[in-house]
Chains A and B, each alone.
Chain A
Amino acid sequence: MHTVLIVDDDPDDIELATIALEAAEPDINVRSALGGSAALALLRDGGGRPDLILLDMKMLGMNGFETLREIRADLHLRDIPVVIVTSSDLESDRKAADSAGANSFLHKAVNMEQFSRDIKSLLERYPG
């Protein structure tokens, strides 16, 4: 059973990702944080360590790359797998995520079926 943390500044996207995750793994433990600062506070609060973090790239306030840098600088958090999520499918964004130290990259497909397939294969790649 996975524990996944969704970090996004758009509640709609959090909702859609949650539905896609629950569809892929019914007893999954999904937690969410509305923005980078909230995510870091939640992680450091000690409320359970996630198996995977889905981190949106373009967020208001602390964006995805800044949040990732903080996570990687924290001794207790640095080895949690982080997937950068973005609505862009540009190769340049994929490279930026890679060089920022993300473990993987996920495109937010408009087509929900496509998105669900991508989520499922991601969970298989990072078992809990």
Chain B
Amino acid sequence: MGPDMTMGDKKPDNPFPIVGIGASAGGLHSLECFLEALPKNFDFAVVFIQHLSPAHKSLMPEILRSKWRDHEFIEIEDGIHLVPGRIYLCPPAIEVRIREGAFRIIARPDEHIHFPIDEFLVSLAEDAAERTAGPIRQQPALDELQSVIQLSQETLLEEYAPAAVTIDQNYNILYHNGPTKRYLNQPRGAPTRNLLELIPENLRSRIRGAIYKVTMEAGPFSIRTSSGGDEGQKRQVSIRVSKIKDNLFLIVFSEKEGPPSGASSEYLETVCVEETAVRQLEIELSATRQELQTTIEQLKSLNEELQSSNEELQAANEELETSREELQSLNEELITVNAQLQSKVEEQEETNNDLNNFLSSTNIPTIFLDHRFRVKRYTPAITKLIKLIPADVGRQIIDMSQELLGPDFIADAQSVLENLVGVKKEIMINSDWYVRTALPYRTHDNRIEGVVVTYNNVTELKRAEERSSYLASFPQLNSNPVVEIDSSGKVTFCNPAAMETLESLGMDKGDVDAFLPPDLTAALRDWDKRNETTLYREIIIKDRVYGETIQLVPLFDVARIYANNITERKKSEESVQQRTAELERVNRELESFIYSASHDLRAPLRTISGFADIVAKRYAGQLDEKGSDYLLRICKGTARMSRIIDDLLHLSKVSRQEIQRKSVDLTEMASSIIADLREADPGRQVEAVIQKGLVVHADPGLMEVTLSNLLGNAWKFTSKTENARIEFGTFEQDGKTVFFLRDNGAGFEQKYAERMFWPFHRLHIASDFDGTGIGLAIVERVIHRHGGKIWAEGEAGKGTTIRFKLD
């Protein structure tokens, strides 16, 4: 907004008083008191300036308007002319000035401390000096300072508000009051607030002294001095220093006499004239003296401290001197010792060289270990066994591939450390033989600090030994051909028997390869991977067959062939095979014949049996006693023949039937058969003892046939025994389960034990015990078909035990 764009009333023609009122943020109450006393109509203008936070909107106008409705409150805007009878309020965040009876608003820069009330009042005084009055309640930013200054005219201001400044302990001026510019002069250079720089040079030490004194004594202190203006006028200036509170001082300048004020810039200067001046000087001198005295005292105490420090330093120096001398003598001793050491080192070096040369020239792998099996030293030859590098010195041998050092390496080293006795062992590493010697490592003072292990390669020696023993066993005198070949298959030796064999076959030495099996090359191919292998081959040379045992001996890179003429054996084996096959065929034919013969015999038997039966029934009355008896014998004979035929068919069936193995519970099966026998023959009292849990893997039908026959026999042959007893169970023999079926019946003579199982062979006459003589033959067939075996034991009158085992 431009200065010409005036708002509000025009500038009034007649001059009128303007009352400027300043207050801090909490000054509202004071204003209210003022407004209370203000008449309804007044002929002056009131301007109220308040310290307000720029960040908030002021509620002042609203508050005032609501309370004093009679008065007219106006918020100051740029360019408004002041009019009597109105109260002007200053909004926050601006600074207000008065120029030619109108307000001018200046934006407030933020970074400095502001004194909006001061600034306004100064501008008011300048603009309307004649008509300004204002009660000011001023509360500056530093609330340490509180004063109320009553203004009426500018002259009053001068008289009752002398020039004064407030300073802090660093002489920085915090606040100016009154016409301080008379006494203070801004020097050249950057603007300063420091009082000592603003006052004349000759006053500086006195002001400093005065402040010091005020600090010490708390009471005010005054300095008097004369000053001369520009026009040679002299005036007496009194500077009163008083303490407001800690670190805050009020310096008040006042004059006793002198020219009227008005000049805005005057300079103080000291002039030594007249008695007053002398007295003044004396006072100053006395003050200076006092200051000096203080300084001297301080210096004295400082000096004493320095003196005592000096003495201490002197004592220390003496001690150092002594130490230096001691060091000197020590140094001389050290030089002597050093020289001795030097010569020792040289000796040591020589010994070391000898040792190193010895170690590197010796071809014996040697390794030195400390007591924790860390590598201390080794000979280059050790790298034949284990790839050691200088960086391995200090490493634990356990961390490395210690198996390269032979079996039980750590165990032996441990034993040496524990027993302090060397360990010597013949070991094999990578097909080489070594004598490994582990000895305790003794220091010069006979302490055991580790282990020294050496390896002596004795492979050659060993091989020579083995070779000689091998040669000693060489089969020169073997009557069978023996041929030796190397790994390439080349014959390196053949014994006399081999030569004879070749001759007998019409061959000669050049045909010795005839003993080599055709697949020998393949057998030799991965030879060195094997330790020792024996192969068996059969080869044919002309019309002979040779069985050859081939012994691979990698140690000597040879293979030995031991040949055996097995021609005859082969021939007989073949004929046995042929005969067996023939027998099997005949057997099968026989089985088949038995089957069909038995079957075919049934038809005529049935004719005889059938018609005999009819004759017996229909024509019985026409026969005499003898005829009836013969007819009965025919019937019995046919019945018996029928049973034989049935059994024969059964036997044949057992031989031909395919075996189907399943899990069979023999305990249950035997119990069931015994139950059937009891039912069929309820008059018998037989004790049957059957072992529990007899389970086999066999053909269930055939096992039923077996048990029926065996239990039926036992039942039958105990029919004449009191307290008949049948026992079925198992026992272990050579890791196999053997079943037994024992009875206490008629028994038999042991010499007939084998015949029991022959078909149609009976050990008892039919009148004693009925039977076809085929039952046990069937049983034997079943057991054989299960890959098992059956045998019998007995004694006449003492019972029978049948034992069998299954495959």
Contact = CB atoms under 8 A, between A and B. Distances in A.
B610 A112 contact: yes
B599 A88 contact: yes
B609 A111 contact: yes
B611 A111 contact: no
B614 A12 contact: no
A16 B608 CA distance: 11
A108 B606 contact: yes
Interface in A1-52: 10, 12-13, 16, 19
Interface in B392-434: none
Contacts of A88: 599
B642 interface: yes
A112 B642 contact: no
Contacts of A115: 610
B639 A87 contact: no
A75 interface: no
Given A87-B599, A88-B599, A110 B611 contact: no
A19 B603 contact: no
Contact of A113 (B606, B607, B613, B642): B613
A112 B603 contact: no
B610 A16 contact: yes
Nearest to A19: B614
Contact of B642 (A13, A16, A19, A111): A111
A87 B603 contact: yes
Contacts of A112: 609-610, 613-614
B659 interface: no
A110 B605 contact: yes
B25 to A, nearest CB: 127
A12 B602 contact: no
A49 B614 CA distance: 30
Interface in B623-657: 638-639, 642
Interface residues of A, number: 13
A12 B607 contact: yes
A19 B614 CA distance: 9
B705 to A, nearest CB: 14
Contacts of B638: 110
A13 B606 CA distance: 8
A112 B605 CA distance: 12
Nearest to B612: A112
A108 B645 CA distance: 14
Contacts of A12: 607, 610-611
Most chain A beta-carbon contacts within 10 A, residue among B607, B609, B610, B614: B610
A119 B24 CA distance: 146
A113 to B, nearest CB: 7
A85 to B, nearest CB: 12
B216 to A, nearest CB: 144
B660 to A, nearest CB: 14
Interface in A53-96: 87-88
A112 B609 CA distance: 7
Nearest to B607: A12
A69 B763 CA distance: 51
A115 B609 CA distance: 12
Interface string A103-119: 00000101111010000
Nearest to A10: B603
A12 B642 CA distance: 18
Nearest to A88: B599
Contacts of A111: 609, 639, 642
Contact of A16 (B599, B602, B605, B611): B611
B613 A87 contact: no
Most chain B beta-carbon contacts within 10 A, residue among A13, A16, A88, A110: A110
Nearest to B599: A88
B606 A110 contact: yes
Nearest to A116: B613
A12 B609 CA distance: 11
A108 B599 CA distance: 12
B614 A87 contact: no
Contacts of A10: 603, 607
A46 to B, nearest CB: 33
Nearest to A91: B653
A13 B611 CA distance: 10
Contacts of B639: 110-111
Nearest to B614: A19
Contacts of B642: 110-111
B670 to A, nearest CB: 25
A108 B605 CA distance: 11
Contacts of B603: 10, 13, 87
Contacts of B602: 87, 108, 110
A118 to B, nearest CB: 13
A112 B608 CA distance: 11
Contacts of B609: 110-112
A104 B603 CA distance: 21
Nearest to A115: B610
A8 to B, nearest CB: 11
A88 B601 CA distance: 11
Contacts of B613: 112-113
Nearest to A17: B610
Contacts of A13: 603, 606-607
Nearest to B602: A87
A107 to B, nearest CB: 10
A64 to B, nearest CB: 15
A4 B421 CA distance: 114
A4 B602 CA distance: 25
B116 to A, nearest CB: 132
B83 to A, nearest CB: 143
A111 B603 CA distance: 12
Interface in B13-67: none
Interface string B518-550: 000000000000000000000000000000000
Most chain B beta-carbon contacts within 10 A, residue among A19, A87, A88, A112: A112
Contacts of A110: 602, 605-606, 609-610, 638-639, 642
A120 B638 CA distance: 23
A120 to B, nearest CB: 16
A113 B609 CA distance: 11
A88 B646 CA distance: 10
Contacts of B605: 110
A44 to B, nearest CB: 29
A87 B602 CA distance: 7
A10 B614 CA distance: 18
A97 B409 CA distance: 85
A94 to B, nearest CB: 14
A76 B638 CA distance: 43
A47 to B, nearest CB: 28
A99 B638 CA distance: 33
A19 B610 CA distance: 10
A12 B610 CA distance: 9
A13 B642 CA distance: 17
Contacts of A19: 614
A113 B607 CA distance: 14
A16 B605 CA distance: 13
A19 B617 CA distance: 12
B476 to A, nearest CB: 70
A84 to B, nearest CB: 16
Nearest to A20: B610
A108 B606 CA distance: 8
Interface string B585-607: 00000000000000100110111
25 contacts: A10-B603, A12-B607, A12-B611, A13-B603, A13-B606, A16-B606, A16-B611, A19-B614, A87-B599, A87-B603, A87-B606, A88-B599, A108-B602, A110-B602, A110-B606, A110-B609, A110-B610, A110-B638, A110-B639, A110-B642, A111-B609, A111-B639, A112-B613, A112-B614, A115-B610
Interface of A: 10, 12-13, 16, 19, 87-88, 108, 110-113, 115
In order of increasing CB-CB distance, the 6 nearest A-B pairs are A112-B613, A110-B642, A16-B610, A12-B607, A87-B602, A110-B606
Given A13-B607, A110-B606, 8 more contacts: A13-B603, A16-B606, A16-B610, A16-B614, A110-B605, A111-B642, A112-B610, A113-B613
